[in-house]
Every structure is written in structure tokens, then in C-alpha cells.
Amino acid sequence: MNLIILSLIILSGCSSKFELSSSNIDVIKLYESEDFEKVGEEAYKTIGSSTDITKFVRAIESAEEYKGQVDMGPPNFIAMIEYDDGGKRDFQLWISESSIRGAVTEIGKGIYYGIPENSTKNLKELLLD
């Protein structure tokens, strides 16, 4: 009985960081970033296939919150997620060719997350090819 209660407590604390679900995302538009703002009106890359959207969501959701103060330079990309219902969410991504671990934050939230090595590798293949 105690094991069941402990398991429920642990599971209830394991929620999605950004509450992203690939099933209701229409498209992800990536823009190059300069000084924390997107550069230009044209997207650097558009992710529209369900397979690639799922890869992106899994990588972002695998990120772990940075503890303490974070001193980040400008992000490499702004990711604009557009939903089937017309809703939108914007994220800043720190991913480059030399990245071992990337980073992500949802614009306006102020919480930064480190992306694990394997997920960073997957994002690099998706974003930088």
C-alpha cells in the first residue's frame, strides 16, 4: 500500500515541462535570432511533418530546469509553434554546430532548461541540416 502511494506521488510530480503535444501542432517555424529577437520575416526553416514535429517536441520536453542564476547570450533560434486551433507559443533555442547540450526557454516565462546531449544531437540533425 505504501509503495502504491509513493508511486502515485512520484508520478504526479512528473509532468511535462512545457505541456507540448505534437498531436495538435500544425507547424513549427524557426527563425535565426539576433539580440534575443527573430531576424527577418522569412523563416530559416519550417517543420511541418508529424515525424519531425514529434522529434522536436520530445527533445524540448526532455530538457531539465537550470537551477540558480543563468547568464545566457542571445539564442541561436526563435521557434514559433503554431497550433491547429490558431494558438501560438514562442521559444528561444540555444543550439549550434558546436553545442554538446542545448538550452531552451519559453519566451516570457523566465525559466531556462538544459537539453540533454542525445536530445541536442537530435535537434541539431533536425534544425541544422
**Per residue in 79-93, pLDDT tens?**
999 999 999 999 999
Domain range 2-127, CATH class: mainly beta
Convert the pLDDT of each residue in 36-59 to its tens digit.
666 777 899 999 999 999 999 999
Task: Name which of 91, 93, 90, 99 is nearest 76 in CA terms.
Answer: 93
Three cell numbers, residue 83 = 497550433
Looking at residues 94-108, what average pLDDT do you find? Answer: 93
The predicted structure's pLDDT at residue 113? 94
Question: Which residues 6+ apart lie within 8 Å of 58 measured at CB?
Answer: 119, 122
Most distant CA pair in the chain, distance: 58
Domain ranges of the chain: 2-127
The predicted structure's pLDDT at residue 55? 95
Using the 8-state DSSP alphabet, how is residue 41 labeled? Answer: S
| pLDDT higher than threshold 50 for residue 9 | no
CB 56 within 8 A of CB 126: yes
CB 112 within 8 A of CB 65: yes
